[in-house]
Amino acid sequence: MSKLVSTEHPALHATCEPVPVSEITSPKIKKVLKDMRAALHAYNVDGFAGVAIAAPQIGVPLRIFLVEDMSPDRKDGAIIPSLVAINPEIVKVSKRKKVVGEGCLSVPNAYGAVNRSLQATIRAYDENGVRYERGGSGLLAQIFQHEVDHLDGILFIDRAEEVWDKVDEIEKTATEEKK
């Protein structure tokens, strides 16, 4: 099983290589996807669960991400579909943007405010080598943008307008809930 790499790992700060289409269904890529899922499923820091992971987060500099919402009780009611994106590219984003709260498995102690497009469309291959296009809004659009950033060597803290310590945010939320 692969584990998340530290924030300083070079794979998190470099542009990832595309997966040759002929290798998408190979044992090597199947293992990368299995390792990514294992790392995502194992993540639980201070009660925070992950919703997606990119290959560089386990030290593999390939253009792959997957979405699997590990939140046991999504409060906002959003349904996030599970999907695999190999060689994804964002083909369209809305002009309308919003500053949203964002965290990252690779930066476990930070949370931040990032300006993201409200809608985004990706074109990618699934784990069977089938090319698809998928649009998303709200949280899914945010995930698409965040994960493609990973594949381009960009962490959310590089884009954030403000970053704060996650522990401080937990305490602030707990205080507000008591009121």
The Cα–Cα gap between 108 and 103 comes to: 7
Contact (CB, 8 A) for 17 and 28: no
The architecture of the domain spanning 10-178 is: Alpha-Beta Complex (3.90)
Q: Strand 131-137: give its sheet, edge to edge.
A: 52-54, 64-67, 83-93, 119-125, 131-137
Bridge partners, 139 (sequence order)? none
> Is residue 22 within 8 Å of 75, Cβ to Cβ?
no
Active site residue 147: yes
Nearest CA to 100 among 139, 136, 150? 139
Q: Which of 8, 133, 147, 171 is catalytic?
A: 147
- The better pLDDT of the pair 80, 107 is held by 107
Give SS3 for 58.
helix
Q: Model confidence over 12-33: pLDDT tens digits?
A: 999 999 999 999 999 999 999 9
Domain residue spans of the chain: 10-178
**How far is residue 27's CA from residue 25's CA, in Å, rounded to a whole number?**
7
Element (DSSP H or E) covering residue 86: strand 83-93
Residues 90-141 pLDDT 10s: 999 999 999 999 999 999 889 999 999 999 999 999 999 999 999 999 999 9
pTM of the full predicted structure?
0.88
Give yes or no for a contact between 125 and 87, defined as CB atoms under 8 angstroms apart. yes
